[in-house]
Amino acid sequence: MKKKLRSLALLVSIAVLGFQIYSTYQEVQKRKRLEEDTVSYLEDRGYKMETDIDNLSIVYATLDKKVYMAVVTFQDESEARYFYWRKRDSNEIEQIDVIHHGTSPTLKREEN
């Protein structure tokens, strides 16, 4: 009886661990796809990653729904953070917000 319980506990532990590994892998893939798609979105608009983009990072946000967002800082606007995400009803990237931390509120890339 104890051997069966140990075997069952081991199987359940392996299943839970497998699910956690799979879930983590899926989240990493979501982040990677968002980063790649955001780079493509910006490159389609004429920006170059090597010369125009200072930083692109993926963050996790809990709004009304848990989502990943790309936060982009351009080299010539180091005080502005542009936020992009995947549209809810499609697979397209869109700019959703800009936060400016400087004294000059002129934003070069704000989309309406």
CA-to-CA distance for 45 and 18, rounded, in angstroms?
A: 41
Residue 66 contacts by C-beta under 8 Å, 6 or more apart in sequence?
60
**What DSSP character marks residue 46?**
T
The 10s digit of each residue's pLDDT in 26-69 is 989 999 999 999 999 999 999 999 999 999 999 988 766 778 99
What 3-state class would DSSP assign to 29?
helix
* pTM for the full predicted model: 0.79
CA-to-CA distance for 13 and 69, rounded, in angstroms?
A: 33
CA atoms within 13 A on the CB side of 88: 6
